[in-house]
Amino acid sequence: SPRPIAARSLQDDGYVRLLRRQVEEVFRDNRMIAVCQFNSMPDEDVVLMRHYLRKHNIEVKFVLNEIVRPVLSQSKYKNLLPLFVARNILLVSPETKAKEMLRVLKGVPQINLLGACIDDTILSRQGVENFAKLPSLEASQGQTVGALALLPSQTSSLLQRGSAHLTALLDQHIRRLQAGETGSPAEPAPAQSLGAH
Amino acid sequence: KKMASKISVVLRPVKSIVVRFCPFESNVESTRKFLGCINHKKIQATNRNCEVTADVRHDGSEPLVDVMFADGERLIMKGANLTTIEMLTALQSRCNAKELQEEQKSKKKSP
């Protein structure tokens, strides 16, 4: 089995470089990276948790602080550095199913969500919970389209009001003229300013 | 030097433990490690009814361990200036003292 990390030169060792590259890839290839404290739990529970998370395309990655810290300190994720003390795991996904992740974590009290990076935005635990409560992008887009569509339809009826009124007046005028031709006394159409309500 | 994982705590007299910390602060390591140790199955096995909760915040509050004992007593340990071992030892001695009290009480009842 490999020598412990501390015994290796953290600069040159190929295995250490590999582990660091893996951490870089995790942050590069995933939209959601959640950092959680890992408290000891039975292996069967770890397996179960992995299983339920995988259903939502979320992978569990055990990480070593000694490997993660130097990688993060050189990156735009350096504000996550304080999180990497004690024992941690990463929950990573190319999607951002925070709601589903929180639901699984609710059943695993030995795992404590500390914070996350979602779409290059660093969030606290509360931030993740707020993010999870947001409606889906499709729902928000639908709402926006609906609100925007309301305005032109109102404008359209507003614009038509003037000409609709004019049409009604002209109809009335024509009827009166026709009434005049058939012999009944013609009354001058009362002067009306167009557009008056 | 004592290893934190070697400190055995008997949680029988404990009702609940809340470990509160802001993970983005830089003074929380000993508190988080305390949380890790207290979750160890050996310690958990001493009292399955003892609720251990992590209260993860982001409001600048200081890290602390809030222990509620079954007899109503409360122990608050501020983790910013304590080591994990100090917190575990403090809890251990409190628990042992209470266990001793209980033992003496039951001895009085049934001589």
Q: Which of A69, A122, A124 to mutate to test binding with chain B, by most B CBs within 10 Å of its CB?
A: A124
A85 at the B interface (CB within 8 A)?
A: yes
Answer yes or no: are the C-beta atoms of A19 and A67 closer than 8 Å.
yes
Higher per-residue confidence, B91 vs B106: B91
Residues in chain A predicted with pLDDT less than 50, given as ranges, are 196-197
3-state class (DSSP) for residue B18: strand
User: Are A82 and B32 inside 8 Å of each other by CB?
Assistant: no
Complex ipTM over 0.90: yes
Q: 3-state SS string over chain A? A: CCCCHHHCCCCCCHHHHHHHHHHHHHHHHCCEEEEEEECCCCHHHHHHHHHHHHCCCCEEEEECHHHHHHHHHCCCCHHHHHHCCCCEEEEEECCCCHHHHHHHHHCCCCEEEEEEEECCEEEEHHHHHHHHHCCCHHHHHHHHHHHHHHHHHHHHHHHHHHHHHHHHHHHHHHHHHHHHHCCCCCCCCCCCCCCCC
User: Are B24 and A87 inside 8 Å of each other by CB?
Assistant: no
At A67, list the tokens.
């490997």
Q: pLDDT, tens digit, for every residue of A154-183?
A: 888 888 888 889 999 999 999 999 988 765
Q: pLDDT, tens digit, for every residue of B49-103?
A: 999 999 999 999 999 999 999 999 999 999 999 999 999 999 999 999 999 998 9
Residues in B closer than 8 angstroms to A126, CB to CB, are: 57-58
User: Are A79 and B24 inside 8 Å of each other by CB?
Assistant: yes
A106 at the B interface (CB within 8 A)?
A: no
Tell me the pTM: 0.78
